[in-house]
Structure 1
Amino acid sequence: MDKDWIFHDSHIAFFRSPFGAIPCQEKITVALEVTTTEPIDAVILRLWKYGNQEEKINMHLINRIGDKRIFQGQMAAPDTPGWLWYYFIVTVAGRTYYYGNNHANLGGIGQIWDHEPPSYQVTVYRKGTATPNWFKDAVMYQIFVDRFCNGHDEGKILSPKQHCIFYPHWEATPAYSRDPVTGKTVCYDFFGGNLLGVLKKLPYLKELGISVIYLNPIFEAPSSHKYDTADYKKVDTMFGDNELFRELCQRAREMGISIILDGVFSHTGSDSIYFNKEGRYPGPGAYQSKDSPYFPWYRFTKWPEEYDCWWGVDTLPNVNELEPSYQRFIIEDDDSVIKYWMRLGAKGWRLDVVDELPDIFVKKIRRAMKELDPDAVLIGEVWEDASNKISYGQMREYLLGDELDSVMNYPFRNILLDFFLGQRDARQTHLALMSLYENYPLHHFYSLMNLIGSHDVARALTILSEAPPEDTLTKEQQARVKLSEEQKKLGLARLKLLVLWQMTFPGVPCIYYGDEAGMYGYRDPLNRGTYPWGKENQELLSWYKQVISLRNRYDVLRTGQWIPFYARSRVYGYIRKISGGRDVFNQAKKDNVAVVLFNADTREEARLSLDIGQWFKGTLADLLQEGQRIDVSSGQLRISLPPLAGKLFMDEA
């Protein structure tokens, strides 16, 4: 028999309706096509609920054309959120076949297996769940405070600490240093960026088109990265103080910009009020006394020297998030950490290593935030598809309605980098994006933090310029890498296309500080260089401003329907559409159609004749070339895309 004699495509409504994630109690209709001359004994839909409830549903023949038969079955989502998993069992002439998800587990067209196959996923979320609409319209900007801007014109360092090392000038290259006593790598290196610098650059961020600032940790801590918290209630004195943070939030809010903080709640620093290993704080910490109020927060195997710590780093002792006193301090008390900073002006939190926080802890944070501000946003650091993330042997409930509003969309970054580097073709890129689209609830898909760079990955320009692979170089060699002008030109062209994609795609685009200025660098510490004020790549910066302004101007690019329609070789295209005066969330919005196309090939021009008549007929304006218009009154869009080119057309400019 033909290899496709059994067929199901979860991306097509005929085979699965409704598409994608569904609310509780929703009914799903699935179909299976079987083409054979042999007698079909049975077609069964095998359903698995929440990992422990099996159900087998007999599918019924609804149509027959020659040797082709269509079977249909229906399943109902349960009353409580979770996951449904399904595949098909087909018995023909006494022999059993299985049809399930494909090898890549991406959904869409599956395949025939001779044994129990991987299942298709259906995410089931709590009915009535939503994410804040204002956030879906936002453009984010991530700031690593020490490296962004020193608000003192003379370069004054605020409250320098005795153990810190200061770079001789703002343009110096970040480097690892080692503790002279232990020999361990430490991050006590500082350039002098501070919150006053962020405040002074608000006009720049406003002009760029930013509406949300995500700050890496700002609380007191010995390191430059601040992920080793020493005092959750205090801005580090090298960055400013709590009152300055309040002023920053107020001034930003007046300019239409919200501030989101980084919450590091899975561990503290060992040099902190709570652990106090170095004895710098007056009260007894857990390291000093079992009678310390903070002693129950930590897990000692042999007090005081042996304790559970984050990834074995002894300066980062893990906390027990289920300890009631810790939960009261972080979440529940009237002056808890979460509430304290939100009352000072924070609009939300990004949770560091959220997969190491218990579900109940995250749910309590969300509840406390929403009680204080229903429009506050909770973002989680997740590196994979967050809809089916397994952490410590458990499926995480990030997107079922009671935990996160958004996650850091590292899969998006990886998919696009692979496409522009030629490591995925357009079809593979399409399937990877569709997998996310299918698995995430729609309101989450449109709230994803679509990043290109962050403090934990190499700068996009370095990767797109095809710098030598990071794992082939020492840190010292990485710092000395010099790219040729051709490499830089290639990287710049690719990054501009990637940014155009980022700004025209569903979700919340996030810019890592300095990417818009043309910063390079491998991973930490080289991805944490200082913003090059006065030395920006003006071509790239102008491009960022242009495409961000288009996103901010047109509702359709933010919350319009997303319709992928072309994926061949190195060319990918999609349509964004609002019709009937309503966007995908039934908000009143202006009707618009946008067509977005990319040619990732570095050598070949793409000559295209695209039938878009079912979505639009008329005249389209080229938003990237002023005054250029193209006639598609016939429904055919004929265009030549040069190598490394992108197009954004709109039905009106």
Structure 2
Amino acid sequence: MFKQAIYHRPKNNFAYSYDDETVHIRMRSMKTDLTNVILLHGDPYMCEDGIWQHTKKEMKYAGSDELFDYWFAEVKPPFRRLRYGFQCVSNETTAYYTERGFFDEAPGDSGAYFSFPFLNPADVFCAPHWVKETIWYQIFPERFDNGDSTLNPPGTLPWGGVPERDNYFGGDFQGIINRLDYLQELGVNGIYFTPIFKAKTNHKYDTIDYMEIDPQFGDKKILKQLVRECHKRGIKVMLDAVFNHSGYYFGPFQDVVKNGEQSIYKDWFHIRKFPLQEGETINYDAFGFEKIMPKFNTENPEVRDYLLKVAAYWIEEFDIDGWRLDVANEVDHQFWRDFRRTVRAVKPDVYILGEIWHDSMPWLNGDQFDAVMNYRFSHAVVDFFAKGAITAEEFKHEMIHILQSYPVSVNEAAFNLLGSHDTPRILTVAKENKENLMLAFLFTLSFQGSPCIYYGDEIGMTGEQDPGCRKCMIWDEEKQDRDLFQFIQKLISFRRSIPVFGNGGDFTFKYLHPALISYVKSSRNEKMLLILNPENKLIQVDIPDEFIGAVNLWTNSPFTERTSEIRQKHFLILHKK
């Protein structure tokens, strides 16, 4: 037994309260080292003759990544207190793993074991319930549709031209309102808008005024109309908050530009010295090294109060349903705790989504964000299905690692995307292989989390990195890939109508063939087997007995074959109630 690899921590993703009465416990061991793990658990105060009384529960093997196996158990402590340890079994030996190390026999003193002191409801991670049922659609407003040409900025180009970093095509709120029926037809029920506030650029990540809408999009009256129309259709609305930095022409920063060290706003920003700029060198912190995006000092009480007022205002006045937080990892944790308290006081079920591209557990303990943009998921799916850069085994390892990195409740709310305004178009990455793109969408829309579609990906739009990925939306149906649209539309309908297809079922990879991606989604009431063939060849596979007689979800017909041939770049979905 390789004890050095056995690991547990009574916090974060290894031990947490899933709901008001349930605790989830995980343990890690070296890959293929242990044959089974048994959880010893009980109330810390239950003793007989000085010996702690405990119950044993077999832990479920939850999957493997490249180096480790993961084990999982769910317990409901009757008095909400819990002490626990692990009976680790290998082919050669048995050892008892506790907070005080390893023992040959189970210790009789509860003080030796791991402690989950009390299941406090206030500590339960609670993302808004509606997020688990939401399929998002990301809109870059300047490029979605021009519905009111009277708002066009000077020099606006005809719709559909070549996007540049500094050109305009006149997208606005009226254009979005005009296309809500299209989004309803697609089936999405959440819209994430990139910034809409007054700014100098077409992307609007350089805010001039956080209390005003950019005039090219419309005014506050039409924004209220847009939100109302979305809500009538059951569509949630999430705005983009750029609180890491302002724009260069933001009033307080312009005061610093004008008055230097005498400015009353100089402590609103991270200024190293004056003058603000010497040659090409800026003497203040910014997003990256972007001169036009000076970084806020969110530890300054005046800045904090101002930004929290902004966050509350757009919820109070416009009834938005969520905030996406730009460059969230560069803002201090205390600000985000204050942010959560502020917005939840206004609307208890508002969704808080952080832009973080790496491991995000420090932000996902229930006191800051509900989710992050799950780029680690994105990279794995894109690398495998679109690029063919990793093997099926490597892909499965990464998916298991991602799932084990966070509590189940966090995974259910994760914002899973294939692309965004910051990445090349997924079809372009896939070298315009539509079959690969379809498999990527199938996996994403059947995985745990809250999936997002970047505008135009559903009709086969292409484009390299910014600005290529920010082309004008194509509205001429003759130029849209309607087959792709209908494919994604059908997947969305499955997710919205069949619980186990989405967050209503546990996810487990099932080995059927080394080249296939096969997995089971299961709940108490139903099961689903999905088999994806990413290869350029037909693969024959034996179907597990439990799925013989299930319904082929794509054809809605009974499936009775013992052996199935999965065509190249194709799939099979079997649903059993």
Sort the TM-score into its range (normalised by shorter chain). Answer: 0.7 to 0.9
| 2:290 is equivalent to residue 325 of structure 1 | no
Moved more, 8-17 or 206-215: 8-17
Aligned residue among 160, 163, 175 for 1:171? 160
| 2:372 is equivalent to residue 407 of structure 1 | yes
Does the aligned pair in 1 maintain the 2:35–2:90 contact within 8 Å?
A: no
Please give the secondary structure, in 1, of the residue aligned with 2:494. Answer: helix
| 2:35 is equivalent to residue 58 of structure 1 | no
Aligned residue among 135, 138, 143 for 1:139? 135
Aligned residue among 542, 551, 567 for 1:609? 542
Which residue of 2 is the match for residue 550 of structure 1?
A: 494
Deviation at 1:61, TM superposition (A): 4.4
| 2:554 is equivalent to residue 629 of structure 1 | no
| Structure 1 Cα separation of the partners of residues 453 and 345 of structure 2 | 29
Which residue of 2 is the match for residue 643 of structure 1?
A: 568
Q: What's the CA shift string for 1:354-409, capped at 9, x where partnerless?
A: 1101111111111111111111100011112322xxxxxxxxx2111111111111
Which residue of 2 is the match for residue 385 of structure 1?
A: 359
Aligned residue among 331, 336, 355 for 1:357? 331
| Structure 2 Cα separation of the partners of residues 234 and 223 of structure 1 | 15
Moved more, 563-572 or 368-377: 563-572
| 2:395 is equivalent to residue 417 of structure 1 | no
| 2:151 is equivalent to residue 158 of structure 1 | yes
Choose between structure 1 and 2: higher helix proportion: 2
Deviation at 1:418, TM superposition (A): 2.3
Please give the secondary structure, in 1, of the residue aligned with 2:413. Answer: coil
Aligned residue among 440, 443, 457 for 2:409? 443
| 2:287 is equivalent to residue 310 of structure 1 | yes
Deviation at 1:285, TM superposition (A): 5.0
Summarize the Cα distance change of 1:566–1:26 in structure 2 as closer, same or farther, 3 Å threshold: same
Return the TM-score normalized by structure 2: 0.81
Does the aligned pair in 1 maintain the 2:87–2:95 contact within 8 Å?
A: no
Please give the secondary structure, in 2, of the residue aligned with 1:307. Answer: coil
Aligned residue among 510, 516, 519 for 1:574? 519
Which residue of 2 is the match for residue 207 of structure 1?
A: 185
Amino acid at match of 1:594: M
Alignment RMSD (CA, Å): 3.0
Does the aligned pair in 2 maintain the 1:399–1:441 contact within 8 Å?
A: no
Deviation at 1:599, TM superposition (A): 0.6
Which residue of 1 is the match for residue 66 of structure 2?
A: none
Which residue of 2 is the match for residue 294 of structure 1?
A: 265
Does the aligned pair in 2 maintain the 1:299–1:319 contact within 8 Å?
A: yes
Structure 2 residues not aligned, in runs of 5+:
3-29, 38-57, 62-68, 107-111, 277-282
| 2:126 is equivalent to residue 130 of structure 1 | yes
Which residue of 2 is the match for residue 459 of structure 1?
A: 425
| Structure 1 Cα separation of the partners of residues 465 and 139 of structure 2 | 16
Please give the secondary structure, in 1, of the residue aligned with 2:439. Answer: helix
| Structure 1 Cα separation of the partners of residues 305 and 134 of structure 2 | 32
| 2:60 is equivalent to residue 13 of structure 1 | yes
Which residue of 2 is the match for residue 497 of structure 1?
A: 439
Fraction of identical pairs, as percent: 28
Please give the secondary structure, in 2, of the residue aligned with 1:288. Answer: helix
| Structure 2 Cα separation of the partners of residues 26 and 401 of structure 1 | 21
Does the aligned pair in 2 maintain the 1:565–1:573 contact within 8 Å?
A: yes
Summarize the Cα distance change of 1:423–1:17 in structure 2 as closer, same or farther, 3 Å threshold: closer
Amino acid at match of 1:76: S
Does the aligned pair in 1 maintain the 2:208–2:250 contact within 8 Å?
A: yes
Does the aligned pair in 1 maintain the 2:340–2:369 contact within 8 Å?
A: yes
| Structure 2 Cα separation of the partners of residues 356 and 22 of structure 1 | 38
Q: What's the CA shift string for 1:543-580, capped at 9, x where partnerless?
A: 1111111111112222222232424422011222232x
Does the aligned pair in 1 maintain the 2:447–2:507 contact within 8 Å?
A: no
Summarize the Cα distance change of 1:160–1:252 in structure 2 as closer, same or farther, 3 Å threshold: same
Aligned residue among 239, 258, 261 for 2:236? 258
Q: What's the CA shift string for 1:300-341, capped at 9, x where partnerless?
A: 22234232222121111111011100111111xxxx111111
Deviation at 1:22, TM superposition (A): 12
Summarize the Cα distance change of 1:572–1:26 in structure 2 as closer, same or farther, 3 Å threshold: farther
Which residue of 2 is the match for residue 559 of structure 1?
A: 503
Which residue of 1 is the match for residue 196 of structure 2?
A: 218
| Structure 1 Cα separation of the partners of residues 74 and 406 of structure 2 | 7
| 2:334 is equivalent to residue 369 of structure 1 | no
Moved more, 431-440 or 451-460: 431-440
Summarize the Cα distance change of 1:4–1:221 in structure 2 as closer, same or farther, 3 Å threshold: closer
Please give the secondary structure, in 1, of the residue aligned with 2:203. Answer: coil
Structure 1 residues not aligned, in runs of 5+:
48-54, 63-72, 82-124, 176-186, 277-283, 388-396, 466-487, 580-590
Does the aligned pair in 2 maintain the 1:25–1:79 contact within 8 Å?
A: yes
